[in-house]
Structure 1
Amino acid sequence: MTIASEEAAREYIAEIGGAASLDRLELLGARLKEENGRQNLVASGSLEEMWVRHFADSAQLLHFVPRETKGTWLDLGSGAGFPGLVLAILRPEMDFALIESRKLRVDWLERMKAELQLENCCIEGARLELVETLGAAAISARAFAPLAKLLRLSARFSTGDTYWVLPKGRSAAQEVRELPKRESEMFHVEHSVTDPEAGIIVGRGKVRDKT
């Protein structure tokens, strides 16, 4: 399955989060276009394909974390809010912590949390190294860091039950192969529904803390 149009992306998301979620995403999209003129949150060319490139691309991660999962979902380096804001909209029964250290982006995320009325979402405006340790139910990260570094920085948040969903583009398989054997066996690569050449690194379990 490949989502190739904005309308197909809307239909895909409606199946996941219901029609009500579309209104919130429309608002997020409008605000993103406004804010992108002030700070470069996303590539300007991607705004014409926002539902595919950002909304559906984020929403697909929910297929790898069972709906009955309880606890806090950590989104690392949330930036413009992808996937964190989209996931918080589509899964209101779960708590989300969006980690972002850049002040302008923290301000943006705080404004969107308030305007979208996301009571299940908190914004942690700090470097990941300074965030208090907790056992995460799920961890996501989009364009945060190379996989080995990402795992090293976030290992202390993982438990034996943690789901990992890490969009990695075309480098996904290679980054998994470059991990030490124990860690590489934890993960596999799923194809993205928004780009047939891109991969999502998926796994479950605790990563050894090497810090």
Structure 2
Amino acid sequence: MINIIIDNDNGFYRLGFQTLLSKIFLERFGKKTTFTSGIDTLSAAKADVIIMKLAPGESGVCHPALYARRKGSLIIGDYEVVRKPYIDELPLCFENMIFINRNEPITLLTERIVDGWEHCSDKAITASQWQCLACGHKTLSPQQIKVATHYSQGSSPHQIAQSLDINIKTVFAHKRIIMGKFNLNSDCELLRLLNVMNKLKNNVSAIPIMNI
């Protein structure tokens, strides 16, 4: 039995992936599947496959629940934007991740998932790869944390400058650095990433740039 987490609240989204993955694992590997939604340390420890719908830049953020996941498990990152995240910059907990885009043909999605599962079976993650102090997840300076926090609360650049008592050009400079670090191209992508970080804020190690 293959235990699969689909981390998404959208029922149609989950149903689509349940149908696809059930077919792949039954036809290609002769294995049945069981599904749950939502990631926490308990569910991650039991999962063979985790599917995450990634917001722009999210693949650079620390997700502490993934630290508990089974070391030979597969993470499937479903990204919406044209740019595939940089694999060589992933945090350690994202080891054994493959990226898919649902705009690709089903045949291509299937082959990516099959190849990813076979790779995980051949090359399990080793314990030495899970040293958090050596992790490359992205972080920002204290001042950039303050600017990002105000942006996440809906403040305008002028309001941020007044609140932090800095020049508005400095606000834009910090914003540009934040977007560059996470490879973001628009205010919409920035706000979506900040929303993801807000959801993770209850665990301090999950918040590389937020302090709300």
TM-score, normalising length from structure 2? 0.37
Greater helix proportion: 2
Greater strand proportion: 1
- The structure number with the bigger radius of gyration is 2
